[in-house]
């Protein structure tokens, strides 16, 4: 395995942990915000440099130059590959953006120290290749929202019950799977329990109530940080996809398809802004799962691209909704609030995020949506048709939210509601990512395509015998097609 030219992964994990200790001792909200933003900015720089350093190696995976944890936790504890490297940088960007734009009115309630710890756990999950440590880190990450809900005096039992059930199923299923001497001897029940636990963690129907409740009761920033990185989907890729049978993957795809259809329909009719956003997130997570379970090069590539592009779009939408709530409180979608005249920059940013989320040409979501639909149609035509319907409903629901929040009679205001300097800077960066990612999609498509091929090769090497031949044929066909093109 190749080495990076620096210690970027370990630095990205250590800086937030060290900063959380200092932040927890501070009492001034402004100082806590400033130190947290500084630590997250340095972490973001390390994550981006790690990504660029990794790309320069032209390898599928790499670890730090001197991996301190290798001696104690295993050689594959901190490794980034073509799948996780862009997500590693995106995770750091997400945390920095959400914290950076936190308005003063919400800084007293925002858990800065827990956010820093959460980022360190997220980056550890993204760079962890050892299944046992991955399950342990996933358990620790699930505890942080419970701490916030209890500190805010909110009902936390519903969230905790779902996460406890998810982790119990993952733990039992993993133990049964790891106890097998040979790959072909892995018990079907163990893989099924593992898949069911990760489906609950993703919030798929009928286990979606915890996600809706989290957006209602926790701070919006915490809910976004916990759900948008789609760690449940990462668990499917790391723990299920390489080893399980085709039947279990099809079952996950079916549940994800039903969840996507349900969530897109609910997003269209919601009258609560937070619930609308929660269902929109659920719909996008479900679409990514469908792509991951397609087991075709095109479909898997589209799912991986959609994972990154939808994360950018959902982050942008969440920032705008959070900014609106910071100025006028929670807004419903029953009436037209006419906020465009008060905050035109945020309104335009919201519309751009909507267009990117539905795969509008010239945005970062376009190529991912096209490949995703093509891959879904190749599996089953009805699946492709339903995916198109889901994406259309997501767009209708998001445009409906835009019109209800920003159009109508101009709302009177006694204070300025223009975008603040942190919000403007964040808008510029995310808008550039959404536009440049659409105008120059080659870097993203090539990286995701190579990652998809390698994931399929590893599944062909570790999956049960009855699915290896079909996977090898699919990879060979994709290589022939790409060579012919």
Sequence-separated (6 or more) residues with CB below 8 Å from residue 164: none
Mean per-residue pLDDT for 359-387? 84
Q: How many CB atoms lie within 10 A of CB 160?
A: 17
Q: Name, of 1-10, 60-69, 170-179, 223-232, the range with top average pLDDT.
A: 223-232
Mean per-residue pLDDT for 46-67? 82
Contacts of the segment 456-460: beta carbons below 8 A, 24+ positions apart: 456/295, 456/297, 456/300, 458/242, 459/241, 459/242, 459/243, 459/295
Contact 252, 236 (CB under 8 A): yes
Is the CA virtual torsion 258, 229, 298, 249 positive or negative?
negative
Return the higher-pLDDT residue of 96 and 132.
96
pLDDT value of position 463: 64
Q: How many CB atoms lie within 10 A of CB 366?
A: 21
Residues 454, 434, 272, 207, Cα dihedral to 10°: 0
pLDDT value of position 473: 54
Which of 9-18, 71-80, 133-142, 340-349 comes out lowest in average pLDDT?
Answer: 71-80
225-238 residues labelled b (16+ CB within 10 A) or e (exposed) = bbbbbbbbbbbbbb
Taking all residues of the chain, what is their mean pLDDT, rounded to a whole number? 87
pLDDT value of position 65: 63
Which of 3-7, 169-173, 273-277 comes out lowest in average pLDDT?
Answer: 3-7
Whole-model pTM: value is: 0.91
Q: How far apart are CA 388 and CA 395, in angstroms?
A: 11
Q: How far apart are CA 120 and CA 43, in angstroms?
A: 9
Mean per-residue pLDDT for 291-298? 81
Q: Which among 148, 132, 46 is positioned nearest to 91, based on CA atoms?
A: 46
What is the band of 467 on the pLDDT scale with cuts at 50, 70, 90?
Answer: low
pLDDT at 196 > cutoff 90: yes
Q: How many CB atoms lie within 10 A of CB 107?
A: 16
**Domain range summary for the chain, segments of one domain joined by +:** 1-129, 130-484
pLDDT value of position 482: 47
Alpha carbon 158 to its chain centroid, in Å, reads: 22
Q: How many CB atoms lie within 10 A of CB 109?
A: 14
Contact 54, 4 (CB under 8 A): yes
Q: How far apart are CA 424 and CA 345, in angstroms?
A: 8
Mean per-residue pLDDT for 206-212? 94
Instruction: List strand residue ranges (DSSP E) for 34-140, in order.
Output: 61-63, 80-81
């Amino acid at each position: 395995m190749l080495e990076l030219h620096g210690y970027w992964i370990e630095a990205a994990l250590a800086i937030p942990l060290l900063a959380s200790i200092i932040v927890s001792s501070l009492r001034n909200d402004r100082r806590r915000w400033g130190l947290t933003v500084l630590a997250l900015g340095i972490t973001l720089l390390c994550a981006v440099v790690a990504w660029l350093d990794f790309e320069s190696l032209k390898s599928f995976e790499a670890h730090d130059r001197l991996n301190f944890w290798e001696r104690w936790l295993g050689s594959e504890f901190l490794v980034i590959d073509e799948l996780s490297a862009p997500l590693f940088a995106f995770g750091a960007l997400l945390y920095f953006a959400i914290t950076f734009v936190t308005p003063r009115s919400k800084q007293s309630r925002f858990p800065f120290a827990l956010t820093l710890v959460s980022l360190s756990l997220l980056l550890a999950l993204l760079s962890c290749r050892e299944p046992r440590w991955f399950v342990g880190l996933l358990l620790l990450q699930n505890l942080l929202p419970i701490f916030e809900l209890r500190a805010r005096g909110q009902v936390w039992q519903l969230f905790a019950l779902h996460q406890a059930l998810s982790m119990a199923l993952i733990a039992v299923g993993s133990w049964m799977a790891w106890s097998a001497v040979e790959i072909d001897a892995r018990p079907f029940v163990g893989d099924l329990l593992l898949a069911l636990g990760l489906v609950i963690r993703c919030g798929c129907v009928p286990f979606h109530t915890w996600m809706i409740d989290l957006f209602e009761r926790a701070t919006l920033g915490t809910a976004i940080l916990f759900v948008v990185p789609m760690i449940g989907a990462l668990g499917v890729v790391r723990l299920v996809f390489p080893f399980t049978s085709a039947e279990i993957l099809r079952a996950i795809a079916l549940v994800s398809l039903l969840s996507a259809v349900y969530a897109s329909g609910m997003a269209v009719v919601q009258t609560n802004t937070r619930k609308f956003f929660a269902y929109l997130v659920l719909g996008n997570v479900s679409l990514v799962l469908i792509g991951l379970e397609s087991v075709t090069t095109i479909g898997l590539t589209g799912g991986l691209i959609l994972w990154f592009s939808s994360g950018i779009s959902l982050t942008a939408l969440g920032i705008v909704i959070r900014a609106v709530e910071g100025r006028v409180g929670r807004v419903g979608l029953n009436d037209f609030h006419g906020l465009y005249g008060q905050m035109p920059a945020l309104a335009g940013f919201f519309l751009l995020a909507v267009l990117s989320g539905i795969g509008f040409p010239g945005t970062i979501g376009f190529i991912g949506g096209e490949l995703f639909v093509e891959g879904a149609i190749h599996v089953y035509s009805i699946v492709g048709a339903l995916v198109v319907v889901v994406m259309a409903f997501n767009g209708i629901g998001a445009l409906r939210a835009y019109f209800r929040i920003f159009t109508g009679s101009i709302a009177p205001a006694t204070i300025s509601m223009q975008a603040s300097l942190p919000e403007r800077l964040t808008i510029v960066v995310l808008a550039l990512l959404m536009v440049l990612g659409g105008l120059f999609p080659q870097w993203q498509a090539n990286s995701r395509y190579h990652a998809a091929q390698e994931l399929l090769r590893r599944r062909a090497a570790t999956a049960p015998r009855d699915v290896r031949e079909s996977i090898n044929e699919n990879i060979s066909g994709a290589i022939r097609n790409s060579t012919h093109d």
